[in-house]
Amino acid sequence: MSPMARNAPVPSATDPAVIRNFCIIAHIDHGKSTLADRMLQSTGVVQPRDMKAQYLDRMDIERERGITIKSQAVRMPWEVDGTAYALNMIDTPGHVDFTYEVSRSLAACEGAILLVDAAQGIEAQTLANLYLAMENDLAIIPVLNKIDLPAADPDRYAKEIAGLIGCEPEEVLRVSGKTGVGVEELLDKVVATIPAPQGDASAPARAMIFDSVYDTYRGVVTYVRVVDGKLHPREKIVMMSTGATHELLEIGVSAPEPVPSQGLSVGEVGYLITGVKDVRQSKVGDTVTNFAKPASENIGGYEDPKPMVFSGLYPIDGSDYPVLRDALDKLKLNDAALIYEPETSVALGFGFRVGFLGLLHLEIVRERLEREFNLDLISTAPNVVYEVTTEDRSVVTVTNPSEFPEGKIHEIREPMASATVIVPAEFIGAVMELCQSKRGQMRGMDYLSEERVEIRYWIPLAEIVFDFFDQLKSRTKGYASLDWKADGEQASDLVKVDILLQGEAVDAFSAITHRDSAYSYGVMMTGKLKELIPRQQFEVPIQAAIGSRVIARENIRAIRKDVLAKCYGGDISRKRKLLEKQKEGKKRMKMVGRVEVPQEAFIAALSSDGAGGEKSGAKK
Amino acid sequence: MPAILPDGDPAPAHGRLPSSAVQQVKDAEASGSARTFSLYVHVPFCTVRCGYCDFNTYTAEDLGPGASRTSYAGTVTGELDFAAEALSGSGVPDRTLHTVFFGGGTPTLLPASDLVSILGRARELWGFEPGAEITTEANPDSVTRESLQELAEGGFTRVSFGMQSAVPHVLATLERTHRPENVPAAVGWAREAGLEVSLDLIYGTPGESLADWRTSVEAAVALEPDHVSAYSLIVEEGTKFGAQVSRGVVPDVDPDDQADKYLLTEELLGAAGFRWYEVSNWARDLEGAGVHQARHNLAYWRDQDWWGAGPGAHSHVAGVRWWNAKHPAAYAQRLATGVSPAVGRETPDADARLLEQVMLGVRLAEGLDASVLDQAPDGGQSARQQIAALIGEGLLDGRAALAGRLVPTLQGRLLDDAIVRRLLGF
């Protein structure tokens, strides 16, 4: 049994030979944060009395959802056979929307713990990240977690993992983050298995940014892994992608509270503070070097975050528009992937068109806006980015159905995705049926074990963005897991479907769909609106149309009776209050032409009925 | 009385009125347009609770001290004494009673002698205006020739029967205890006793056809009552119907069906010499002189003053509204300890008072005095535009509007709440 290190190596003066940089690859709910907490305790960096569940997940939303959005790094001392080591645990986001951030975290490590729930087996997203780790030549330590669970089946899943990474089932460690069983052995294994970092201590300093977090008090905190050379406090540094220079106000390591140091040397992981206020000035994947003695080449692998999904966000109370603008400006400081621009909707008023990495990113941003800034928001159905070529060969990039060009279209190209689904073999048929109906093309299928199959499809991203995940879950009794990544584009027969109230198009309900789905979208939306919009004093036709061609129609008949039968002594207060309530409700009405549409109708029509881990917030 | 009480401020234990309200009563008297004063007495007992009913009523005979059927007359008489004391103690000028109305529940579940003795105390305390209208509600099967005779001799002038329908399956759905043939007998006895007769009907009950409704209205007309009230069935939360509708056991009421039935009601009653004077009320009134209109209810709609006695009863004096403890035992206990039975009170502000006046006024054939809308924050400017639009849409009577009265047309009566909202700009 390894003791806690008595003489922890000192940051800035640590021999790379005693450094171990690793991350944990795991699916949401497989217990990564709990295991990380347990490691903090075992290594003594967090005292039991300071422990709160999921110490590293700093945002409330992360803690509540049990997921990690932003990664961090923690330096932990650990002693094996009398040698004190410095273990840097780099916590990685577990969700597909943040694949790029994951790839940068992996690039900062020499090894990875593959953490799998002993009751559930490996999931698609974990598999995707495992492939990434193996491509980066990381040493993999396979671990089954939650072995204390009654439903745990470690023998079965050890075999599955062994098959995937090419080891013996006996080599798969068994731990319980909850009880602490096996955690110390795991730390020993990290020291034994993961290679020490290598770099040139005398070369010009190069450090890779793998995370960048905005802190209200300290400005942007940048997390880096030093590859070559050394970074010192108070020296001038350069961001190699932009050439921007900053002064290093503070440098240090997380343990897990920030501890300033005399610098960071080869192989070390820590944080930098330069006083900048916007994470865009400190981009994930960028290389930091010394201004006076700069490196000639960056570390490589840097990419600008690219939004894949767009949605309109509107305050329910129109007077909250400035609050929403300020809130987005604040969130942007901490979210380099968030982009937005103002947009106006006839139906919804003033709002923003916001681009996201994916649906979870959308959900998280929306939830943070509502929770941290006390906003009530409507979000329009998410859509992807289309390239539309008109007959005169001009190309329009469409991020909002309202930008869809009028007139004849030569070609429409839509983004595609490679999707991987892992599912028990009995659901193969159901998954294939769903993927075919969503215009997917099968790319392959592999048995991970006798019971579990990995199915790969090439599928329009727009279909994934809509209700794909909800449907996948419901058709597989919740067993399927999904991973996807953007993968090219294709020309498709797409059309814009407009929804008209009394002949007036309601921009918020317009959608770009495949021609074959246009009719069902039209029928669904007109039917839904008929139920949601109260009867007016006049008849209101609801139509779905492609251009000027009506493809579906419903009618809201004129209201004939709108009077309370009784109004005697005791009814007067009550009826007055009823009318006062209607008066309040009127403020939440939006006018489309002469038609009064309750805000609730927009919300209900734009939200899906589906639930599940990855909410689509899209049409059904 | 509805069972759900509105929120409000606490009511003072002594029951006295704020001086501003008292002053308004005095000012009205001085200006020669005195506010009338009426009395409502709530009797919270029934033999069966009907599935649609959300009134404050109980089927048990004994609900605690002072709240049994036998002790109730004494208890509510105690509130009349309290009322007289509180009004005079507040400095409200003495007023004789304009009308009295016993409602429920089923007032006639009490012995006629009890109702007469309660009425007798009211007469001692305030006196009656000459020709005062004194009404009791009754179920057709809760009266006898003798009881009606006794009520008439004791001062009652009018009886309002809960006929509801003449069709057995509709009565069964409504869970009414009487049979259709009870009604002609009860009406006959009331006539013999010299009482005016009103019949209450309910339309739009699930399962009721248009033909069923025609049968009911024609049966009512054949009995030659002086007055008919016809209410669309409302499914209220907290009732048995409400629960059945939300579970899907019973279909919800259909507003289009109710509109058809309302139009049929107007057609049949109009042909039989009845004229509407409020959205749900018609009086036999060949000359259009206003005879047989329910003066007690008109007092509510004309925003006059009344004291409501009994559990859950509401009162109003010059813009102050209050309401009593709902449960008969809690109500009785407050009175027994000399505390006002009122548990809540409100003084609606100018906006709310305007809303009340508009919503009450446009329910009436006499209409709303259009100048009332000048009190709106914009001086009535947007209301005047709406009036023109509403006349154009056929919802307000254009001729009456030129004379300064806002009177809904037949179509407007069905959309009365929409008229209120538009006049007040929401």
Integer Cα distance of B390 and A540 in angstroms: 19
Confidence of residue B249 (pLDDT cuts 50, 70, 90): confident
Clarify whether residues B284 and B361 are in a common domain: no
Predicted pLDDT of residue A608: 55
Predicted pLDDT of residue A586: 82
How far does the CA of residue A616 sit from the closest CA of chain B (Å)?
Answer: 30
Architecture of domain A16-193: 3-Layer(aba) Sandwich (3.40)
CATH 3.40.50.620 for domain A495-606, yes or no, is no
Contact list in B for residue A560 (CB cut-off 8 A) is 255-256, 259, 414-415
Contacts of A602 (CB under 8 A, 6+ apart): A347, A348, A378, A508, A590
Question: Looking at residue B200, which CATH number applies to its domain?
Answer: 3.80.30.20
- Comma-separated ranges of CATH 3.30.70.240 domains in chain A: 387-492
Clarify whether residues B358 and B256 are in a common domain: no
Q: Which long-range contacts (CB under 8 A, 24 or more apart) does B178-185 make?
A: B178/B139, B178/B140, B178/B141, B179/B141, B180/B219, B182/B140, B182/B141, B183/B140, B183/B219, B183/B223, B184/B223, B185/B140
Domain annotation covers residue B68? yes
Clarify whether residues B289 and B141 are in a common domain: yes
Mean pLDDT over B246-262 rounds to 92
Integer Cα distance of A457 and A445 in angstroms: 9
Contacts of A609 (CB under 8 A, 6+ apart): A620
B308/A565 Cβ within 8 A: no
Domain annotation covers residue B342? no
Beta-bridge partners for A457: A419, A442
B256/A560 Cβ within 8 A: yes
Predicted pLDDT of residue B6: 52
Integer Cα distance of A290 and B33 in angstroms: 93
- Angstrom CA distances, A284 to A8, A105, A247, A336, A615, stand at 29, 9, 18, 8, 27
Give the model confidence (pLDDT) of B195-213 as tens digits: 999 999 999 999 999 999 9
Average pLDDT of the residues of chain B: 94
Clarify whether residues B49 and B165 are in a common domain: yes
Above 50 in pLDDT, residue A619?
Answer: no
Domain annotation covers residue B97? yes
Predicted pLDDT of residue A317: 84
Q: Binding site for GTP: residue ranges of A?
A: 29-34, 145-148
Above 80 in pLDDT, residue B423?
Answer: yes
How far does the CA of residue A348 sit from the closest CA of chain B (Å)?
Answer: 19
Give the model confidence (pLDDT) of A78-100 as tens digits: 999 999 999 999 977 656 577 78
Which of A539, A576, A588, A591 is the mutation pick for testing B, counting most B CBs within 10 A?
A576
Above 90 in pLDDT, residue A159?
Answer: yes
Mean pLDDT over B58-84 rounds to 93
Give the model confidence (pLDDT) of B359-394 as tens digits: 999 999 999 999 999 999 999 999 999 999 999 899
Beta-bridge partners for A284: none
Beta-bridge partners for A314: A378
Mean pLDDT over B76-83 rounds to 97
Domain annotation covers residue B2? no
Of A500, A498, A496, nearest to A513 by C-alpha is A496
A580/B231 Cβ within 8 A: no
Above 60 in pLDDT, residue A61?
Answer: no
Burial of B289 (0-12, 13-18, 19+ CB in 10 A): exposed
Average pLDDT of the residues of chain A: 87
How far does the CA of residue A503 sit from the closest CA of chain B (Å)?
Answer: 21
Q: What is the DSSP string of B20-58?
A: HHHHHHHHHHHTT-PPPEEEEEEE-B-SS--TT--BS-B
Confidence of residue A70 (pLDDT cuts 50, 70, 90): very low
Residue A6 tokens, joined: 């008595």
Q: What is the DSSP string of B238-266?
A: TSHHHHHHHHTSSPPP-HHHHHHHHHHHH
| Residue among B1, B415, B426 minimizing CB distance to A570 | B1
Clarify whether residues B287 and B359 are in a common domain: no
A565/B279 Cβ within 8 A: yes
DSSP three-state, residue A227: strand
User: Who has greater pLDDT, A450 or A445?
Assistant: A445
Domain annotation covers residue B203? yes
Which of B359, B409, B422 is the mutation pick for testing A, counting most A CBs within 10 A?
B359
Above 70 in pLDDT, residue B107?
Answer: yes
Give the model confidence (pLDDT) of B141-176 as tens digits: 999 999 999 999 999 999 999 999 999 999 999 999
How far does the CA of residue B278 sit from the closest CA of chain A (Å)?
Answer: 10
A575/B418 Cβ within 8 A: no
Integer Cα distance of A55 and A254 in angstroms: 13
Clarify whether residues B204 and B112 are in a common domain: yes
Return the beta strands (E) in B269-329 as ranges: 274-278, 281-284, 305-309, 314-317, 320-324
Contact list in B for residue A573 (CB cut-off 8 A) is 6, 8, 314, 321, 323, 346
DSSP letter for B68, please: B
Contact list in B for residue A589 (CB cut-off 8 A) is none
A583/B421 Cβ within 8 A: yes
Residue A271 tokens, joined: 């944080």
Clarify whether residues B272 and B369 are in a common domain: no
Confidence of residue A55 (pLDDT cuts 50, 70, 90): low
By C-alpha distance, the chain B residue nearest A579 is B421
- Comma-separated ranges of CATH 2.40.30.10 domains in chain A: 206-290
Give the model confidence (pLDDT) of A240-291 as tens digits: 988 999 999 999 998 888 899 999 999 999 999 998 888 888 888 899 999 9
Domain annotation covers residue B51? yes
Of A106, A136, A131, A143, nearest to A31 by C-alpha is A143
Clarify whether residues B262 and B355 are in a common domain: no
Give the model confidence (pLDDT) of A593-613 as tens digits: 889 888 778 878 876 543 223
- Angstrom CA distances, A3 to A192, A362, A424, A464, stand at 15, 44, 42, 49
Question: Looking at residue B413, which CATH number applies to its domain?
Answer: 1.10.10.920
Of the residues B245, B266, B301, the one at which a domain ends: B301
By C-alpha distance, the chain A residue nearest B395 is A537
Phi, psi of B328 (to 5 degrees): -55, -35
B297/A582 Cβ within 8 A: no
Contact list in B for residue A559 (CB cut-off 8 A) is 255, 415, 418
CATH code for residues A387-492: 3.30.70.240
Q: Binding site: residue ranges of A?
A: 29-34, 145-148
Total domains present in chain B: 2
| Residue among A559, A565, A571 minimizing CB distance to B2 | A571
Integer Cα distance of B267 and A604 in angstroms: 42
Mean pLDDT over A181-197 rounds to 96
| Residue among A570, A573, A582 minimizing CB distance to B421 | A582
Helices (H), B91-167: 112-126, 145-153
By C-alpha distance, the chain A residue nearest B413 is A563
Domain annotation covers residue B397? yes
Above 50 in pLDDT, residue A71?
Answer: no
pTM for the full model? Answer: 0.70
Clarify whether residues B106 and B230 are in a common domain: yes
Clarify whether residues B279 and B397 are in a common domain: no
Residue B222 tokens, joined: 């054949």
Integer Cα distance of A388 and A495 in angstroms: 11
Beta-bridge partners for A207: A226, A288
Structural domain range at position B275: 19-301
Of the residues B234, B268, B301, the one at which a domain ends: B301
A565/B234 Cβ within 8 A: yes
B421/A566 Cβ within 8 A: no
The answer to whether the beta carbons of residues A356 and A307 sit under 8 Å apart is: yes
The answer to whether the beta carbons of residues A495 and A544 sit under 8 Å apart is: no
B356/A570 Cβ within 8 A: no
Which of B297, B358, B420, B426 is the mutation pick for testing A, counting most A CBs within 10 A?
B426
Phi-psi region of A31 (alpha: psi -120 to 50; beta: other; left: phi over 0): left
How far does the CA of residue A379 sit from the closest CA of chain B (Å)?
Answer: 27
A579/B258 Cβ within 8 A: no
Above 60 in pLDDT, residue B14?
Answer: yes
A574/B4 Cβ within 8 A: yes
Q: What is the DSSP string of A147-215?
A: TTSTT--HHHHHHHHHHHHT--GGGSEE--TTT-TTHHHHHHHHHHHSPPP---TTSPPEEEEEEEEEE
Domain annotation covers residue B7? no
Give the model confidence (pLDDT) of A386-397 as tens digits: 999 999 999 999
Contact list in A for residue B255 (CB cut-off 8 A) is 559-562
Beta-bridge partners for A495: A513
Which is it for the CA torsion A241, A246, A252, A254, positive or negative?
A: negative
- Comma-separated ranges of CATH 3.30.70.2570 domains in chain A: 495-606
B421/A586 Cβ within 8 A: yes
Residue B155 tokens, joined: 């001062």
State the complex-level ipTM: 0.93
Integer Cα distance of A123 and A114 in angstroms: 11
Above 70 in pLDDT, residue A297?
Answer: yes
A565/B231 Cβ within 8 A: yes
CATH code for residues A309-379: 3.30.70.870
Cβ-Cβ pairs closer than 8 A, A with B, add up to 106
Class of A206-290 in CATH: mainly beta
Clarify whether residues B381 and B287 are in a common domain: no
Which is it for the CA torsion A134, A136, A142, A146, positive or negative?
A: negative
